[in-house]
């Protein structure tokens, strides 16, 4: 399960208590490279599924979308060819025992982002009301 090895999983499990959210058909909004002593990469995206037991304040504000921000720490970017506008695709996060392998694939382009990271930190999770198309 992708959430087992990340730093600060409570950020996510406090909202999705029964099982972690799917990383399929997410809408990618941001890929940010953060330079410093360790290269970091922030990924910000909307999840496809809204939690069944959403926080009361989200229900009161009529939120219908969850946005998650993950920070890849000690990242090595292998490939990044995100199409204009981000797009909808599937994240894959696999922990091989020492590092995370992260990919983002869209149709019909296939893998448009690939990186490895020593750690993944769950930075933020928030609900908002997205206009339905």
Average pLDDT over residues 18-38: 92
pLDDT for 64 equals 96
pLDDT for 86 equals 65
pLDDT digits over 50-107, tens only?
A: 998 999 999 999 999 999 999 999 999 878 887 776 689 999 999 999 999 999 999 8
Mean pLDDT, the chain, integer? 92
In a domain, 2, yes or no: no
pLDDT attached to residue 105: 94
**Domain span including residue 60:** 10-17+19-128
Q: How many domains does the chain have?
A: 1
Cα dihedral: 18, 24, 27, 31 (round 10): 100
**74 belongs to a structural domain:** yes
1 within some domain = no
């Amino acid at each position: 399960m992708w959430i087992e090895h990340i730093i600060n999983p409570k950020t996510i499990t406090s909202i999705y208590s029964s099982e972690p959210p799917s990383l399929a058909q997410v809408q990618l909004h941001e890929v940010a490279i953060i330079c410093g002593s360790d290269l970091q990469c922030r990924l910000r995206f909307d999840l496809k599924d809204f939690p069944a037991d959403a926080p009361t304040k989200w229900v009161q504000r009529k939120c219908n979308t969850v946005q998650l921000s993950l920070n890849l720490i000690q990242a090595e970017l292998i490939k990044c060819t995100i199409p204009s506008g981000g797009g909808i695709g599937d994240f894959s996060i696999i922990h091989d025992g020492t590092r995370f392998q992260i990919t983002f694939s869209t149709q019909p382009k296939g893998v448009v982002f690939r990186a490895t990271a020593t750690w993944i930190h769950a930075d933020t999770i928030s609900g908002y009301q997205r206009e339905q198309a």
